[in-house]
Amino acid sequence: MTDGAIFFLLLKTWKTFIDWTTYGCPSPQPLYSINTLIKPKRNRHKLGRTYKLSKHINPLLERKDTSFKMGHPAAETSSFMTDFLRQSGGVAIIDGGLATELERHGADLNDPLWSAKCLLTSPHLVREVHLDYLEAGADIIITASYQATIQGFKAKGFSSEESESLLRKSVKIACEARDIYYDRCQKGSPDSNNGRVLKQRPILVAASIGSYGAYLADGSEYSGNYGDAITLETLKDFHRRRVQILAESGADLIAFETVPNKVEAQAYVELLKEEDIKIPAWFSFNSKDGVSVVSGDSLLDCASIAESCKNVVAVGINCTPPRFIHGLILSIKKVTTKPILIYPNSGESYDGKRKEWVQNTGISDQDFVSHVNKWCEIGAALVGGCCRTTPNTIRAIYRTLSSRSPAPSSK
C-alpha cells in the first residue's frame, strides 16, 4: 500500500470517528427549511434513528433542523407526545375501527389473522381505509398489524422471513397512505365540499400490537385469562420478535392495544427495556365494567406499570363501551402524568365465541360524539374510535374538536 493510500485510509477513519462522535451517524444530516417539502424518509444507524420529516411533521419539532433522532442522547422521548399534541391544537384524533371498516369495504375477515389477512389478500383496501380516516381528520393512523404475528403467519405456511416481511408491510402501507394524503393536501382545499379534510398537519403512524389473546382468536383478549401455563416469560418470548420488527419498520410509535391483564403489560414494559426500543409507545387497556381491566386486574395497577416506562408516551383505554370512559379517565389520572388516550368502540357487544357483533347494542355517532368535549375537559388528550366506529365517527369528532377554543399555548 502506498503512502498516499495509507494517508487516505487514516483520514477516512478519522472522519468517520468524528462523525459518529458528533452526529451519532456516519455523516452529518443536511438541514432543510421547514418550508421545504421533504417526503418522509427514514435512515437507520446503529447509534440512533434519524427521521427526515416532511414540512407537515416539521412543526412538531419547532426548529429548522428536520433531523429527529430517536435514541440519540439529545432526543427526549418524553417530549415526543407533548410536542405532537401542542402542534395538534391540544387534542389529537386517532383513527377509527380498521377491521370492521375493511369488512364494510367487502373484505372477508373470518380468519384467525383477522384484519392482517388483508395484508395478503387486499392491501389496497387497507391503504384505502387509512386514507378514509386521514380525510376524515385523523392525526394518527394505526397499522393493520393488531392480529399480525409471526406465529400466526407461520401457522398459515409462511416462513419466518415472509412473516417478518408482512409485519413490515403493514407499516409500509400506512406510510404510503400518509404520503398520498400529503400529495392530496397540496392539490386540494383544507375542507372540500365533499366532506374531505385536506389539511396539512403532523400525522403519525402507530404500529399496532395486539395481545396474546388476539393471536389465539378464541375471545381471550376480552377476558385476559390465558391459563396458568402462560407466564411472563412466555409472553415476552411470544411478542419479542414482533416488537423488534415493528420498532424498526419506519413507524413513529408502537401502539400496544387492548391490553387485557397486568402480566402482559409487564411483559411489554420489560421488552421495551430489554430490546432497547428507540421509538415511543402507548399502552391502551380495555374494560368491561368501568373499574378493572377485562381480566379483573386493577386498572390502577396496570396504568402504573405503563407509567413506570420511559418509552411510554401515553396511557389509556380502547375497545371499551363509551359509557365507561368518563370514569376510566378519572381513574387513570390518579396514577399517570402522561397524556391520556381514549378510543372506545361503538358500545356494541361482541360475542367472542360466535365471532360476531350483537346487533342493536351500540350507540349512534351523534351520541358517541356528544361525550367528546367532556372527555377532553376531564383529561383526554387523544381521542378516536375502535371497533364499529367509522370515518363518519372520526369526521364528527374532528368537527366537534374544531369548534372548541384552541388549547392555551405551553410556551
Cα angle 159, 165, 169 (rounded to 5 degrees) comes to 145
Residue 147 belongs to what H/E stretch? Answer: none
Domain borders along the chain are 77-402
What is residue 176's predicted lDDT score, i.e. its pLDDT?
98
CA–CA dist 199, 394 (Å, integer): 15
How is residue 187 written as a grid cell? Answer: 392539490
**Residue 319 labelled as part of a binding site:** yes
Distance separating alpha carbons of residues 301 and 186, to the nearest angstrom: 46
CA distance 38 to 49: 17
pLDDT of residue 370: 96
Using alpha carbons, list the distances in angstroms from residue 27 to 24, 51, 165, 258: 8, 14, 29, 41
Where residue 281 falls (left for φ over 0; alpha for ψ -120 to 50; beta otherwise) is beta
Determine how many CB atoms are found less than 10 A away from the CB of residue 2. 7
Query: Rounded to the nearest 10 degrees, how much is the dihedral formed by the CA atoms of 184, 190, 192, 194?
Result: 70
Q: Residue 25's pLDDT is what?
A: 35
Give exposure, 133-152, as e/b (b: 16+ Cβ within 10 Å): bbbbbbbbbbbbbbbbbbeb
User: Rounded to the nearest 5 degrees, what angle is found at the Cα of 152, between the Cα atoms of 149 and 156?
Assistant: 135
Radius of gyration of the chain from its Cα atoms, rounded to whole angstroms: 22
Q: Measure CA of the first residue to CA of the last residue in the chain; give whole Å.
A: 59
Provide the H-helix boundaries in 97-189.
99-104, 118-121, 123-134, 150-155, 160-187
Q: Are 306 and 262 in contact, with CB atoms under 8 Å apart?
A: no
Task: Please name the helix (run of DSSP H) or strand (run of DSSP E) that holds residue 59, with its range, or none.
Answer: none
376 is in an annotated binding site: no
CB 224 within 8 A of CB 250: no
pLDDT score for 278: 95
**Model pLDDT, residue 183:** 96
Question: pLDDT tens digits, the chain, 411 residues: what are they?
Answer: 555 554 444 444 444 443 333 333 333 332 222 222 233 333 332 223 333 343 444 344 333 332 233 343 334 576 999 999 999 999 999 999 998 888 888 877 777 777 788 898 899 999 999 999 999 999 999 999 999 999 999 999 999 999 999 999 999 999 999 999 999 999 876 655 578 999 999 999 999 999 999 999 888 999 999 999 999 999 999 999 999 999 999 999 999 999 999 999 999 999 999 999 999 999 999 999 999 999 999 999 999 999 999 999 999 999 999 999 999 999 999 999 999 999 999 988 777 667 677 776 789 999 999 999 999 999 999 999 999 999 999 999 999 999 875 544 333
Residue 193 is predicted with a pLDDT of 55
Q: What is the spatial distance between Cα 308 and Cα 316, in angstroms, rounded to a whole number?
A: 14
> Does this model's pTM top 0.85?
no
What pLDDT score was predicted for residue 365?
93
Question: What's the confidence (pLDDT) of residue 36?
Answer: 26
CA 177 from chain center: how many Å? Answer: 15
Cell digits for 236?
Answer: 415476552
Strand, coil or helix: 57: coil
> What's residue 133's pLDDT?
98
Establish whether 387 is an annotated binding residue.
yes
Domain 77-402 has CATH 3.30.365.10: no
Backbone φ and ψ of 132, nearest 5°: -55, -40
